[in-house]
A = this chain, B = another copy of it.
């Protein structure tokens, strides 16, 4: 598949011993469930089936363990959009804005489903880890934002979407899409017709962003 599971990225990478993988697995599990600060290293060791000392042989501190889990996420979180899809868009690979949105949503949803625990940890810890915030601004704030803005401008020029400050457009799109993901994966309502919801959301975005006719 085109989208790789981040779990692999993190703990199936080469050079990791069996124990290291177990540690990462256990840490992700527990950090996601109880939070970083409320998780003890002895708990991770027990869950991973290794001695307490073994964790510190591979990761100097508990915080380094967190960072090794969460940091690569930053790059992957928005990676594909940035790198691959930008050129697809500019090369007219997508007929229109709606098709681009559809592809992007699908692509990110795969990623999200595969890495939900790690993403949860990332979101929880961003407010408290200076280092993560810096990385976030560096990667999302600069690289992604810049390229996303070019895509929006591309469709504005094609008169498919309204001429409005691209930052605002991006915000409106992201808010709407995150709201969809949050509802689906966090609230997870009992009645949920996914296809319908996607169509409604796309309709809403399309109408909301349609250029105003003179």
A contacts, CB < 8 Å to B: 34-35, 37-38, 120, 124, 127-128, 164-165, 167-168, 171-172, 174-176, 178-180, 182-183, 189, 196-197, 200-201, 204-205, 207-210
Contact of A208 among B34, B35, B207 (CB under 8 A): B207
Q: Nearest chain B CB to A52's CB is how many angstroms away? A: 11
Q: Report Cα–Cα, A52/B176, bound state, in Å.
A: 46
10 A-B pairs whose Cβ atoms sit less than 8 Å apart in the complex: A35-B127, A35-B128, A165-B196, A165-B200, A171-B180, A172-B176, A172-B200, A172-B201, A175-B176, A175-B179
Given A124-B124, A204-B208, A179 and B168 contact (CB-CB distance below 8 Å)? no
**Which B residues lie within 8 Å of A34 (CB)?**
128
Say which residue of B128, B172, B183, B200 sits within 8 Å of A204 (CB atoms). B172
With A38-B128, A200-B164 in contact, do A180 and B175 touch (Cβ < 8 Å)? yes
A178's contact among B35, B168, B175, B207, by CB below 8 Å, is which? Answer: B175
Add 4 more A-B contacts to A172-B176, A205-B208 (CB < 8 A).
Answer: A35-B35, A165-B196, A168-B201, A175-B179
Contacts of A209 on B, CB cut-off 8 Å?
Answer: 204, 207-208
Across-interface contacts of A35 in B (CB, < 8 A): 35, 37, 127-128
Q: How far is the CA of A120 from the CA of B180 in the complex (A)?
A: 22
CB-based nearest B residue for A164:
B200
Separation of A205 and B208 alpha carbons in the complex (Å): 6
Contact of A174 among B38, B164, B179 (CB under 8 A): B179
Return the chain B residue nearest A182 by Cβ.
B175
Chain B residues near A164: list those with CB within 8 A.
200
Bound CA span A189–B172, Å: 15
> B167 and A189: CB pair below 8 A?
yes
- Please give me the residue from chain B that is nearest to A175 by CB atom: B179
- CB of A16, distance to nearest CB on chain B (Å): 20
Shortest Cβ distance from residue A76 to the other chain B in the assembled complex, whole angstroms: 21
